[in-house]
Amino acid sequence: MLLEATGRYERRCAADLVEAGFNVAVVNPRQSRDFARALGKLAKTDRIDAKILAEFARLGHARTCEKVPEQRRELDDLVTRRRRQVVQMMVAEGHRLDALQQKAARQSVHAVRRLLDQQREDLDRAIAALIESDDDWRNRRDLLRTVPGVGPATANQLVSDLPELGKLNRQEVAALVGVAPLNRDSGTLRGQRHISGGRRDLRGVLFMAAASAKRYNPLIRAFYQRLRVAGKPYKVALVACIRKLLTILNQMVRNNQRWRCAPAAAPPVVPPV
Q: What is the mean predicted confidence (pLDDT) over 88-107?
A: 90
DSSP letter string over 7-37? TTTHHHHHHHHHHTT---EEE-HHHHHHHHH
Is the pLDDT assigned to residue 207 strictly greater than 60? yes
- In the chain, % of residues over pLDDT 90: 33
Confidence of residue 239 (pLDDT cuts 50, 70, 90): very high
Cα–Cα distance measured from residue 31 to residue 111, given in angstroms and rounded to the nearest whole number: 42
pLDDT score, position 238: 93
CA distances to 21, 205, 216 from 67, in Å: 10, 27, 39
Output the pLDDT for position 21: 84
pLDDT of residue 270: 55
Range of lowest pLDDT (227-231, 247-251, 263-267): 263-267
Confidence at 272, pLDDT banded by 50, 70, 90: low
- What pTM did the predictor assign? 0.75
Most confident of 5-14, 63-72, 245-254: 245-254
Alpha helices by DSSP H, 163-261: 170-177, 200-216, 218-229, 234-255
Per-residue exposure over 232-243, b if at least 16 CB sit within 10 Å of its own CB, e if not: beeebbbbbbbb
Distance separating alpha carbons of residues 236 and 205, to the nearest angstrom: 17
- Please tell me the predicted confidence (pLDDT) of residue 229: 94
The 10s digit of each residue's pLDDT in 54-66 is: 888 888 878 787 7
